[in-house]
Amino acid sequence: MQYKRILLKLSGEALMGERQYGIDPKRLAEYAKEIKQVVEKGIEVAIVIGGGNIFRGVAGAANGMDRVQGDHMGMLATCINGLALQSALEDENVHTRLQTALEIKEVAEPYIKRKAIRHLEKGRVVIFGAGTGNPYFTTDTAAVLRAIEIDADAILKGTRVNGIYNTDPEKDKNAVKFETITFKDVIAKGLKVMDMTAFTLSEENNLPIIVFDMNTNGNLLKLVSGEKIGTIVDN
């Protein structure tokens, strides 16, 4: 196996499947199966999940809502998604723990790095909810932060496209995919992988980001097994 401990980042929108809002149970069950495949290979899996399928603070602010209030709603949305993913994984008999950056202690454990690592060592999937626990941040930043804290080998960003292209592959059929690209080149070429806070945190801490298609069956397992799937961003 190429990786021993991974941080998988899933966007909230990915959970919508074909829907316009909320959670598609079919998509959730598919993701749980993909994750189970890698857990069964002995890979330690931590997950950060977004909340964009339910609420984004910036969207609230655009409609006149206080940004911090909206961001609190967004962070709670990630906890809803985390609970849903936890259920789906438990349906697959995968042991999990949900740890949240904002305390909801009747529902989930608070985030404690040492505990998270212990869970991972015991083969449990750890889902990190509530982002960083701070407004004005994103779950991409939370994903990089947690990956660094738990000493993950890489951050795997599951998307609906199979990597990073020179132009948008959903709009331009001549778009060319990068197998690997440096952090500096991503910035120089003006490509978008993550928001800058998340991206520079990853660069400064030498944490590789792998962008891959999470919606193709078996891709996650292929990736952790060392197959060239997606695009690797590294220093």
| List of residues contacting ligand UDP (CB under 6 A) | 11-13, 50-52, 56-58, 70-71, 74-75, 77-78, 131-132, 134-135, 137-140, 142
Amino acid identity, position 62: A
Give the E-state strand segments of 94-136 in sequence order. 96-100, 109-110, 125-129
Give the residue with the Cβ less far from ligand UDP, 21 or 176. Answer: 21
CB distance 30 to 36 below 8 Å = no
The answer to the question of whether 97 is labelled as a binding residue is no
Looking at residue 106, what DSSP letter applies? T
**Least distance CB 170 / ligand UDP (angstroms):** 17
Residue 45, sorted as left (phi over 0), alpha (psi -120 to 50) or beta, turns out to be beta
The answer to the question of whether 216 is labelled as a binding residue is no
CB distance 117 to 99 below 8 Å = no
Give the residue with the Cβ less far from ligand UDP, 17 or 135. Answer: 135
Residue nearest to ligand UDP (CB): 50
The answer to the question of whether 21 is labelled as a binding residue is no
The answer to the question of whether 3 is labelled as a binding residue is no
**Least distance CB 123 / ligand UDP (angstroms):** 26
Q: Which residues contact 8 (CB under 8 A, 6 or more apart)?
A: 35, 45, 46, 47, 48, 155, 156, 158, 220
**Least distance CB 220 / ligand UDP (angstroms):** 17
**Least distance CB 146 / ligand UDP (angstroms):** 10
Residue positions forming the annotated binding site for ATP:
9-12, 52, 56, 159, 165, 168
